[in-house]
Structure 1
Protein backbone atom coordinates (compact mmCIF):
# COMPACT_ATOMS: atom_id res chain seq x y z
CA UNK A 1 0.00 0.00 0.00
CA UNK A 2 2.81 2.43 0.86
CA UNK A 3 6.00 2.69 -1.12
CA UNK A 4 9.13 2.03 0.96
CA UNK A 5 11.69 4.79 1.44
CA UNK A 6 14.61 4.23 -0.94
CA UNK A 7 16.94 7.04 0.03
CA UNK A 8 18.49 8.24 3.24
CA UNK A 9 16.57 10.83 5.19
CA UNK A 10 17.90 14.36 5.02
CA UNK A 11 16.84 14.79 8.64
CA UNK A 12 19.00 12.03 10.05
CA UNK A 13 22.27 13.44 8.68
CA UNK A 14 23.28 16.69 7.14
CA UNK A 15 26.45 16.89 5.05
CA UNK A 16 27.69 13.67 6.60
CA UNK A 17 27.39 14.91 10.22
CA UNK A 18 25.64 12.77 12.79
CA UNK A 19 22.39 14.11 14.23
CA UNK A 20 23.97 14.28 17.69
CA UNK A 21 26.24 17.05 16.38
CA UNK A 22 23.29 19.43 16.10
CA UNK A 23 22.87 21.76 19.03
CA UNK A 24 19.66 20.97 20.85
CA UNK A 25 18.18 23.06 23.63
CA UNK A 26 16.79 21.57 26.76
CA UNK A 27 13.26 22.27 27.91
CA UNK A 28 14.63 24.63 30.57
CA UNK A 29 16.57 26.61 27.97
CA UNK A 30 13.49 26.90 25.77
CA UNK A 31 11.42 28.11 28.73
CA UNK A 32 14.12 30.64 29.63
CA UNK A 33 14.04 32.03 26.10
CA UNK A 34 10.25 32.16 26.06
CA UNK A 35 10.07 33.79 29.49
CA UNK A 36 12.71 36.38 28.60
CA UNK A 37 10.69 37.27 25.49
CA UNK A 38 7.46 37.74 27.43
CA UNK A 39 9.21 39.83 30.07
CA UNK A 40 10.95 41.96 27.42
CA UNK A 41 7.58 42.64 25.77
CA UNK A 42 6.09 43.53 29.17
CA UNK A 43 9.04 45.83 29.79
CA UNK A 44 8.45 47.61 26.46
CA UNK A 45 4.79 48.22 27.32
CA UNK A 46 5.79 49.35 30.82
CA UNK A 47 8.23 51.85 29.31
CA UNK A 48 5.45 53.15 27.07
CA UNK A 49 3.19 53.57 30.10
CA UNK A 50 5.97 55.37 31.95
CA UNK A 51 6.05 57.92 29.13
CA UNK A 52 2.31 58.50 29.28
CA UNK A 53 1.68 58.32 33.02
CA UNK A 54 4.95 58.53 34.96
CA UNK A 55 4.90 56.89 38.38
CA UNK A 56 7.33 55.45 40.89
CA UNK A 57 5.54 52.09 40.69
CA UNK A 58 6.11 51.84 36.93
CA UNK A 59 9.74 52.93 37.34
CA UNK A 60 10.35 50.25 39.96
CA UNK A 61 8.57 47.61 37.90
CA UNK A 62 10.59 48.49 34.81
CA UNK A 63 13.86 48.11 36.69
CA UNK A 64 12.83 44.76 38.18
CA UNK A 65 11.67 43.51 34.79
CA UNK A 66 14.94 44.61 33.16
CA UNK A 67 16.92 42.80 35.86
CA UNK A 68 14.97 39.56 35.31
CA UNK A 69 15.37 39.75 31.52
CA UNK A 70 19.11 40.29 31.94
CA UNK A 71 19.32 37.32 34.31
CA UNK A 72 17.48 35.04 31.87
CA UNK A 73 19.64 36.21 28.97
CA UNK A 74 22.92 35.53 30.71
CA UNK A 75 23.59 39.08 31.88
CA UNK A 76 22.78 40.87 28.62
CA UNK A 77 20.56 43.87 29.39
CA UNK A 78 17.37 44.23 27.35
CA UNK A 79 16.80 46.96 24.83
CA UNK A 80 14.57 49.63 26.29
CA UNK A 81 11.71 51.29 24.44
CA UNK A 82 11.68 55.03 24.09
CA UNK A 83 8.52 56.41 25.59
CA UNK A 84 6.17 58.22 23.26
CA UNK A 85 3.69 60.81 24.41
CA UNK A 86 0.86 59.24 22.43
CA UNK A 87 -1.25 56.20 23.08
CA UNK A 88 -4.17 54.95 25.08
CA UNK A 89 -3.14 54.15 28.66
CA UNK A 90 -6.10 51.81 29.17
CA UNK A 91 -5.19 49.79 26.07
CA UNK A 92 -1.56 49.63 27.21
CA UNK A 93 -2.64 48.45 30.66
CA UNK A 94 -4.75 45.71 29.06
CA UNK A 95 -1.81 44.67 26.87
CA UNK A 96 0.53 44.67 29.87
CA UNK A 97 -1.96 42.59 31.86
CA UNK A 98 -2.09 40.01 29.06
CA UNK A 99 1.71 39.88 28.74
CA UNK A 100 2.14 39.54 32.49
CA UNK A 101 -0.32 36.64 32.44
CA UNK A 102 1.63 34.87 29.72
CA UNK A 103 4.87 35.39 31.60
CA UNK A 104 3.25 34.08 34.79
CA UNK A 105 2.24 30.84 33.05
CA UNK A 106 5.78 30.26 31.79
CA UNK A 107 7.32 31.23 35.14
CA UNK A 108 5.07 28.74 36.90
CA UNK A 109 5.99 26.07 34.36
CA UNK A 110 9.67 26.64 34.99
CA UNK A 111 9.20 27.07 38.76
CA UNK A 112 10.72 30.56 38.83
CA UNK A 113 9.24 31.99 42.01
CA UNK A 114 10.83 35.44 41.69
CA UNK A 115 9.38 36.04 38.23
CA UNK A 116 6.03 34.52 39.22
CA UNK A 117 5.72 36.95 42.13
CA UNK A 118 6.81 39.89 39.95
CA UNK A 119 4.37 39.08 37.14
CA UNK A 120 1.47 38.38 39.49
CA UNK A 121 2.08 41.78 41.07
CA UNK A 122 2.14 43.42 37.65
CA UNK A 123 -1.12 41.70 36.71
CA UNK A 124 -2.73 43.09 39.85
CA UNK A 125 -1.38 46.59 39.20
CA UNK A 126 -2.57 46.65 35.59
CA UNK A 127 -5.95 45.17 36.49
CA UNK A 128 -6.39 47.91 39.09
CA UNK A 129 -5.49 50.54 36.49
CA UNK A 130 -8.05 49.12 34.07
CA UNK A 131 -11.01 48.80 36.44
CA UNK A 132 -12.40 52.01 37.87
CA UNK A 133 -12.39 52.36 41.63
CA UNK A 134 -15.54 52.13 43.72
CA UNK A 135 -15.27 55.85 44.59
CA UNK A 136 -15.34 56.78 40.90
CA UNK A 137 -18.42 54.61 40.41
CA UNK A 138 -20.23 56.33 43.26
CA UNK A 139 -19.42 59.78 41.87
CA UNK A 140 -20.83 58.85 38.46
CA UNK A 141 -24.17 57.65 39.83
CA UNK A 142 -26.72 60.37 40.45
CA UNK A 143 -28.37 60.25 43.90
Structure 2
Protein backbone atom coordinates (compact mmCIF):
# COMPACT_ATOMS: atom_id res chain seq x y z
CA UNK A 1 0.00 0.00 0.00
CA UNK A 2 2.85 2.43 0.73
CA UNK A 3 5.68 2.86 -1.79
CA UNK A 4 8.80 4.67 -0.60
CA UNK A 5 9.99 7.78 -2.41
CA UNK A 6 12.90 6.91 -4.68
CA UNK A 7 14.06 10.39 -5.69
CA UNK A 8 15.19 13.36 -3.63
CA UNK A 9 12.51 15.87 -2.85
CA UNK A 10 12.63 19.11 -4.79
CA UNK A 11 11.20 20.88 -1.74
CA UNK A 12 14.16 20.38 0.56
CA UNK A 13 17.36 22.38 0.70
CA UNK A 14 20.31 21.18 -1.33
CA UNK A 15 22.31 18.52 0.45
CA UNK A 16 25.79 19.96 0.10
CA UNK A 17 27.41 23.22 -0.91
CA UNK A 18 28.65 21.58 -4.09
CA UNK A 19 25.07 21.04 -5.30
CA UNK A 20 24.85 24.51 -6.81
CA UNK A 21 27.38 27.07 -8.06
CA UNK A 22 28.47 29.99 -5.92
CA UNK A 23 29.83 33.28 -7.19
CA UNK A 24 31.52 35.96 -5.23
CA UNK A 25 30.21 39.52 -5.19
CA UNK A 26 33.18 40.50 -7.41
CA UNK A 27 32.24 37.86 -9.98
CA UNK A 28 28.61 38.98 -9.99
CA UNK A 29 29.64 42.61 -10.46
CA UNK A 30 32.00 41.60 -13.28
CA UNK A 31 29.13 39.82 -15.02
CA UNK A 32 26.82 42.83 -14.59
CA UNK A 33 29.44 45.30 -15.76
CA UNK A 34 30.35 43.19 -18.77
CA UNK A 35 26.65 42.99 -19.68
CA UNK A 36 26.09 46.73 -19.45
CA UNK A 37 29.25 47.49 -21.44
CA UNK A 38 28.35 44.87 -24.07
CA UNK A 39 24.89 46.43 -24.45
CA UNK A 40 26.50 49.87 -24.73
CA UNK A 41 28.83 48.47 -27.39
CA UNK A 42 25.85 47.13 -29.36
CA UNK A 43 24.13 50.54 -29.27
CA UNK A 44 27.41 52.22 -30.22
CA UNK A 45 27.73 49.89 -33.21
CA UNK A 46 24.15 50.75 -34.20
CA UNK A 47 24.96 54.46 -34.02
CA UNK A 48 28.13 53.93 -36.07
CA UNK A 49 26.05 52.26 -38.79
CA UNK A 50 23.35 54.97 -38.81
CA UNK A 51 25.37 58.16 -38.55
CA UNK A 52 28.22 59.75 -40.43
CA UNK A 53 31.63 58.18 -39.84
CA UNK A 54 32.89 59.31 -36.45
CA UNK A 55 36.30 58.67 -34.95
CA UNK A 56 34.74 59.22 -31.50
CA UNK A 57 32.29 56.35 -31.98
CA UNK A 58 34.95 54.14 -33.58
CA UNK A 59 37.36 54.72 -30.70
CA UNK A 60 34.61 54.23 -28.13
CA UNK A 61 33.56 50.94 -29.72
CA UNK A 62 37.11 49.62 -29.61
CA UNK A 63 37.61 50.71 -25.99
CA UNK A 64 34.30 49.12 -24.99
CA UNK A 65 35.25 45.87 -26.74
CA UNK A 66 38.57 45.79 -24.85
CA UNK A 67 36.83 46.29 -21.49
CA UNK A 68 34.19 43.63 -22.20
CA UNK A 69 36.89 41.15 -23.22
CA UNK A 70 38.86 41.92 -20.05
CA UNK A 71 35.81 41.33 -17.85
CA UNK A 72 34.93 38.12 -19.67
CA UNK A 73 38.34 36.58 -19.28
CA UNK A 74 39.61 37.43 -22.75
CA UNK A 75 36.52 36.40 -24.74
CA UNK A 76 35.85 39.03 -27.38
CA UNK A 77 32.27 40.39 -27.45
CA UNK A 78 29.97 39.86 -30.39
CA UNK A 79 29.64 42.97 -32.50
CA UNK A 80 26.28 44.21 -33.72
CA UNK A 81 25.41 44.84 -37.32
CA UNK A 82 22.93 47.56 -38.24
CA UNK A 83 19.36 46.48 -37.59
CA UNK A 84 17.10 46.36 -40.60
CA UNK A 85 14.59 49.16 -40.72
CA UNK A 86 16.55 51.62 -38.57
CA UNK A 87 16.89 55.15 -39.88
CA UNK A 88 19.05 58.12 -38.92
CA UNK A 89 15.93 59.69 -37.37
CA UNK A 90 16.17 57.07 -34.61
CA UNK A 91 19.66 58.21 -33.62
CA UNK A 92 18.45 60.45 -30.76
CA UNK A 93 16.63 57.50 -29.16
CA UNK A 94 19.78 55.40 -29.53
CA UNK A 95 21.81 58.16 -27.89
CA UNK A 96 19.31 58.17 -25.00
CA UNK A 97 19.66 54.39 -24.68
CA UNK A 98 23.47 54.66 -24.77
CA UNK A 99 23.39 57.38 -22.11
CA UNK A 100 21.24 55.19 -19.86
CA UNK A 101 23.45 52.12 -20.35
CA UNK A 102 26.59 54.14 -19.68
CA UNK A 103 25.02 55.38 -16.44
CA UNK A 104 24.25 51.83 -15.34
CA UNK A 105 27.79 50.74 -16.22
CA UNK A 106 29.17 53.67 -14.24
CA UNK A 107 27.23 52.66 -11.12
CA UNK A 108 28.46 49.05 -11.29
CA UNK A 109 32.03 50.08 -12.15
CA UNK A 110 32.08 52.43 -9.18
CA UNK A 111 30.76 49.76 -6.82
CA UNK A 112 33.48 47.34 -7.88
CA UNK A 113 36.14 50.09 -7.92
CA UNK A 114 37.01 49.51 -11.59
CA UNK A 115 38.59 52.85 -12.51
CA UNK A 116 39.11 52.11 -16.21
CA UNK A 117 35.52 51.04 -16.78
CA UNK A 118 34.18 53.92 -14.67
CA UNK A 119 36.14 56.50 -16.65
CA UNK A 120 35.03 54.98 -19.95
CA UNK A 121 31.38 54.89 -18.83
CA UNK A 122 31.52 58.51 -17.65
CA UNK A 123 33.07 59.61 -20.95
CA UNK A 124 30.34 57.81 -22.88
CA UNK A 125 27.65 59.46 -20.73
CA UNK A 126 29.16 62.86 -21.53
CA UNK A 127 29.39 62.02 -25.23
CA UNK A 128 25.74 60.95 -25.47
CA UNK A 129 24.29 63.59 -23.14
CA UNK A 130 23.65 66.35 -25.73
CA UNK A 131 21.78 64.06 -28.12
CA UNK A 132 20.04 62.26 -25.25
CA UNK A 133 18.78 65.58 -23.89
CA UNK A 134 16.91 66.18 -27.16
CA UNK A 135 15.10 62.87 -26.71
CA UNK A 136 14.35 63.15 -22.96
CA UNK A 137 10.58 63.71 -22.61
CA UNK A 138 10.88 64.67 -18.93
CA UNK A 139 13.33 67.54 -19.54
CA UNK A 140 11.59 70.92 -19.31
CA UNK A 141 11.61 72.96 -22.50
CA UNK A 142 14.60 75.29 -22.59
CA UNK A 143 16.33 73.63 -19.62
CA UNK A 144 20.03 72.91 -19.88
CA UNK A 145 21.17 69.37 -19.14
- Gaps in structure 1 of 5+ consecutive residues: 1-6, 133-143
TM-score (norm 2): 0.78
For residue 102 of structure 2, what is the aligned residue in structure 1?
100
Question: Segments of 4+ in structure 1 off by > 3 A?
Answer: none
Q: How does 1:1-143 map to 2 (within 5 A)?
A: 10-13=12-15, 18-53=16-51, 54-84=53-83, 86-87=86-87, 88-131=90-133
Structure 2 CA distance for partners of 1:113 and 1:9, relative to 1, 3 Å: same
Q: Deviations over 1:79-116 (max 9, x none)?
A: 00002472400000000000000000000000000000
Number of matched residues? 122
Change (3 A) 1:117 1:12: same
TM-score of the two chains, using structure 1 as the length reference: 0.79
Q: Determine which structure has more spread, i.e. the larger CA radius of gyration.
A: 1
Runs of 5+ unmatched residues, structure 2: 1-8, 135-145
- How big is the alpha-carbon RMSD for the aligned residues of Structure 1 and Structure 2? 1.9
Residue 67 of structure 1 deviates from its aligned partner by 0.3
